[in-house]
Structure formats: C-alpha cells, structure tokens
Amino acid sequence: MKKRIFWKFFAGFFLLSVFLALAFYFLISGQIRIFYMHSKEESLEKLGMLLSAELAQSWSAMDAATLGRFIKEKGLQAQTRLTVIDPRGIVLADSKRDPRLMQNHSDRPEIAAALSGRKRSAIHYSFTLRENMLYFARPLQVKGETVAVLRLSMFFREIDKVLSPWQWKITAALLGLLGFSIFFSFLLSRNLARPIRELARAARQVASGTLESHVRTRRRDEVGQLTVDFNAMVDSQKQMVEELSSSRQELETILASVSDGLLVIDARDKIIRAGPRFCRLSGEPAPLGKPYWEVLRQSTFDELVKKTGLGQTINAEIEINQRPFLVSLSPLPAPGGVVVTFHDLSESRQLEKVKKDFIANVSHELRTPLTAIKGFSETLAEEATGDTRKYLDVIRRHTDRLINLTADLLTLSELEEKSLHIQMTPINWPEMLIRIRSLFEKKLREKQLTLAIDLPENLGDISFQGDLFRLEQMFINLMDNAVKYTEKGGISIRFLIAGGPEGPRRGGRLLIEIRDSGIGIASEHLPRLFERFYVADKARSRQTGGTGLGLAIVKHIVGLHGGKIEVQSTPGMGTAFTIDFPLFS
C-alpha cells in the first residue's frame, strides 16, 4: 500500500515529464527546421531573381549550348542545382544532368505554378537524382511573355546536415531537464505519499479500535486540511463511543431493574437483546444469538411475532410455563425486527380471583338479610301511614337496588368463571322477543315509547345455537338501558343476516341492532362503557337505580357465544348497540 501510492504518484509525474519533454523536443526541432527552410527558400528566391534578370537580357541571343554552359557555370558558383524548362515542360538545360535524359516536367507543381505566372516552392522526390529536394521555381519573362521557367533546387540531406548539431544540443538539454524532472518527481511523490501513508496507518488503528491515533502535519493545503478533519473525526468518534458506552451501561441498569421481561428479535429471528426478567421466565440464562423459537417454545407467540413483522403492533395474552403473561409486540424501524415485553399477570389474576370470590361471597351473604329487610318493610308498609310509610318506601326502594346489585354481581361472577358451562339449544328468536316485549310493555306504555321489531323473512332458515337464559338476560339489560335513558320516540330491534362464502348457513353472521332515540352518550365515555361499575351519567343512574354492571354482563354473554358488540352514539340523538354473532352449520 505504501509503495503503491508512491509509485503511482511517481509514475504519473515521470510520464508527464517525458511527454512534455518529447513535445518540447518536437516543437523546437520543428520550428528550427521551418525557420531554416524559410531562410533557404528566401535565398533561392533572391538567387533566382538575379539569374532571371541576367537570362532575360541575353535570352534572344542564346542557343541551347550557350544556355547549357551558362546554367552549369552559375550552378557551380551558387552551389545550387539550376534547371530551365520551356512552356511545354521540356528541360532545356540542367546544371547536374543531361537535359535530354530528363522527363517532361510539366506535371511538377512548382513548374505548373511558374508557367501560370506565379512563384512557387515545393518539396518532393527527384526521379532524376533519386533524392528528396527543395525546389523553387519562377517564370522567366521576356517583354512580358513567359518564355521559360527557372527552377532552383538543393538536396534535403544538406539541410539535415546543417540542422543535426542543433538537434544534438536540444537532445542533450532535454535529457538534462528530464533527469531534473525525475528527481523532482521523486521528491514531490514522496512528499505527497507520506501524509497519505500516515492517514492510512491511523485509519487502520481506528478501525482496530484504537481511538488515540492522531496524524501530525505542517501542510496548509488540502492534504493538511484532510489531516485536521481526520483528527477531529477521531476525537468526535471517541466522544461518541464514550457516550454510547455510558448509554449502554445505563440501559443495562434500566433493563436489570425493569420488572417486565424484555426481548428484542432481529429480522433473522435471532435474539439480539434480552432482559434478566425474560431469562428467568424462559429458563435460558444465555439466550443471545439463539432463535427465539428455540428459547420460547410457544406456537401462539410464534404467530404473534410473524404478524408483528408485517408492521402490526399487537397486545395479547399467552401462557408460559403455566403462568399467564400479557405480551406487547412492536415492530422495530429495521425491517423484520420486533421488540417484545412480557408482563406477568399471575399476581393480578390471583388478586382478581380473590376480589371475585369476595364479591361472590359478600353477594351471597347479603341476599338473605336483604330479602328479610324487603319482606319486613313491605309488611310494615301495609299498616303504616303518613311519614312512616314514606320512610318505608325509601327503605324498600334502596333494598331493591341492593338486591339488584347483588344479583348482578353474582351473575357477573358466574360469567367470568372460566369453568362456566352454558346450555346450548336452538333459539326461537320471535318467541324470545315476544317475552321481552311483555316484560317491558308496562314501562313502554308509561313513557309512551314505541318498540319496533324488524325480523328478516329468512330468519327461520338459520339454526342458531345459544343459551336461552343468557340471551334473554342480554336483551333485558339492553332494553332496560334503552327504556331508562329514552324519554320520547322509541326503541327498535332489527335482525340482519349476512351471508358467508357458502351462504348464511356456513360462515355467515347474525347482526342484531338495538337502537333508541334517547339522550345519547358522549364519545369520551364509549371506550369504557362495558367496564364494570362504569356509569356515563352518574346522577341519572342514581335516580333510575342503575348498578353499572348491566353492559359488562352483556359483553360477557356475547363473548360466550363467540360474538362481539359495538356501540355508536351521538348526544341528543340516541344510541345503537350492534351485536355480531357467527353462524355455523
């Protein structure tokens, strides 16, 4: 790693130096060659101008032999090859070769340009001398008419011979510059790689858990700023680790002091956290890392975890090692994770049982004296007059209320018993409703209320099994509430059969709605309406002799039949109770 980053820097700088040196070499060499070529072209042009003037003066007097001698003489003096070509491209004279052996030159670019009246230089291969040549041609004009073309040329090897020393000097200078670049690249690469190596070393130490690593630097560039930021990051990470460690210790202390069991499950069904209470209730001292279903073998709990993994928050009651627990399951932000709390219900259930037994025993003990009080007060009331009779009526009324209260307490205690066995018989709903109507006919007449019963035509097609006594008790309690809290209008009982996937006989529902037009119930009371002793209107309940147990009894009866009950109410507009019973074939 250390050498690799250095050699990357060094190779990059070295290649850049070589590229710049070669570019500089070819640029300088090319410019010198171009400059020298221009100077030679200018020399040829000046020489050509002088020779053209001299030839033009004596052109008319020259024959072929005279022209040949003149061209050879002048070419020897100027150390330049001279050629004269007529307008047809035929070579008339040449200072180096016999013109009779030379090709027609009309296709040469410099000759064609000169014949058209323009000066022209060109570089191309000479088929006569078998070498590359630099040519310059200009028209030879006599009295304004082009009579021939004078062409001057020189060997390209002579140009290379002149430029060769300069190329060696440039090459030596560039080699020296390249050596200096290599040395400078080495120093610069080492200077750049050193802080990066230090940062890499410190980063490895941080990754291994050593948070004391700092990198020293005097640089003020981006690498120096990176070093400063790295040191700040290490300090910040060290502070965060200390805070997390402190928070973890606090969390462990809190978990150890929590009375409820705590369990955290990840997406792979592995236990990633467990409180001491859970370890005790599961009997597993080291559950971390194990599948939850291996530690807690409970099928109901397994189903709850799977539902919670789909994003639901669930509260349910399960039994672990023959002890009841209230479990609360909530999904974690990470997909599939679940946090679970276990609240032991053993003590509360035992307390509740003691409470129920106490209420049942007290109710049994109160029934006999209350019956005696009611009997003697009724006997005394037959012979009493005036204030005495009024006081006896008060005693009798409150005695009736106490008798009703004890009866309801006994009924509720019976319904709450898990061992309660209900007598399931086919229910004839029309006959039951006739009995219910007869029970409340007097009260309905006294308050001038109507009672509407709506039964579907196919009610006789279903066979509903239930406890006749308990169902009548359910209707009596609901009707009693409706009559008590309704002053005008009426009460309606409506039956509705909702079919299942195979019709009403299999998987269907029986819906019973009892609606009144009474005073209604405020929305804040609705969630607690089915609790024991809960009364929405306490003043009115005292006047009517209500016990606050009627709806709790109704809810238990509905639950015993596998149904559920809901309530909807608006103050001033009445209340509707809807009972939903399942239908079985």
pLDDT digit string, tens, across residues 435-490: 999 999 999 999 999 999 999 888 877 888 888 988 998 998 899 889 988 989 99
Structure tokens at 378: 């009724």
Block mean pLDDT (10 aa), the chain, length 585: 60 70 68 70 76 77 81 80 84 82 80 79 68 78 79 70 65 74 70 69 70 67 69 75 76 66 83 81 82 81 78 80 83 79 78 68 66 71 72 72 67 65 85 91 91 87 85 90 89 84 60 91 83 63 60 86 90 91 76
pLDDT of residue 91: 84
| Amino acid, single-letter form, for residue 158 | E
Angstrom distance (rounded) from CA 53 to CA 49: 6
Q: Which three-class secondary structure state does DSSP give residue 576?
A: strand
pLDDT of residue 2: 46
Structure tokens at 229: 């930021």
pLDDT of residue 279: 82
Contact (CB, 8 A) for 422 and 470: yes
Contact (CB, 8 A) for 554 and 565: yes
pLDDT of residue 512: 92
DSSP string spanning 399-416? HHHHHHHHHHHHHHHHHH
| Residue 501 DSSP class | B
pLDDT digit string, tens, across residues 164-220: 666 677 677 777 777 777 777 676 666 666 777 777 777 776 777 676 666 666 666
pTM for this prediction: 0.44
In terms of Cα–Cα distance, which of 273, 290, 268 is closest to 336?
A: 268
Q: Calculate the alpha carbon distances from 533 to 1, 405, 431 in Å.
A: 79, 10, 32
Say how many residues make up the chain. Answer: 585
Q: Is 194 exposed, middle or buried (0-12, 13-18, 19+ CB in 10 A)?
A: middle
Q: Which residue(s) pair with 133 in the sheet? A: 124, 155
Find the helix packing angle between 468-484 and 429-446, rounded to 10°.
30
pLDDT of residue 501: 46
| Residue 424 DSSP class | -
H or E element, residue 543: helix 538-544
Angstrom distance (rounded) from CA 567 to CA 571: 13
- Residue with token string 């890499």: 200
Structure tokens at 354: 């003691």
**CB burial readout 278-315, b (16+ within 10 A) else e:** bbebbebeebeeeebeebbebeebeebbeebbeeeebe
Contact (CB, 8 A) for 14 and 182: yes
Angstrom distance (rounded) from CA 516 to CA 476: 14
